[in-house]
Amino acid sequence: MTNTPLERGRALTGIFNPTLEQTLAERYDQDVPDFAETLIEFAYGRIYAREGLDMKTRQLITIGALTALGGQTGPQLEINIEHAHANGASKTEIFETIMQMALYGGMPAAINGLNVAKQYFEKAGATA
């Protein structure tokens, strides 16, 4: 593993979403300088890179949290479904994680999450 949180974050996202930092920078850095770098450093280099949980588990937890937060998190939910799938989570695991959130975020939140997942899998042509 690399030394700094930014290096760890870049190494980690380089595995499953190599264009994430560039995409974030193009979208946000003009208005909020260094936003992309900050997100990569903090979220991926300090949180996701921690020991104790594998990446698939971390991504399923993130899907659960974003689902429970509700429909306003749709874009973030979609990218994290993509990341979970890239890290070995099956379609069934992703759908079951979302369904579990019906207990904590309510049925509307679960329905919104299921719709995002369905759109992702339809777009990706993924069946597994």
On whether both 68 and 26 belong to a single domain, the answer is: no
On whether both 47 and 58 belong to a single domain, the answer is: no
pLDDT the model gives residue 87: 94
Q: pLDDT (tens digit, 9 = 90+) per residue, 29-77?
A: 999 999 999 999 999 999 999 999 999 999 999 999 999 999 899 999 9
User: Smallest Cα–Cα separation from 37: which of 82, 7, 79?
Assistant: 7
What is the C-alpha to C-alpha distance for residues 114 and 8, in angstroms, rounded to an integer? 31
Domain carrying residue 47: 1-51
pLDDT the model gives residue 126: 63
pLDDT the model gives residue 127: 58
pLDDT the model gives residue 2: 53
pLDDT the model gives residue 64: 98
Question: Number of folded domains in the chain?
Answer: 2
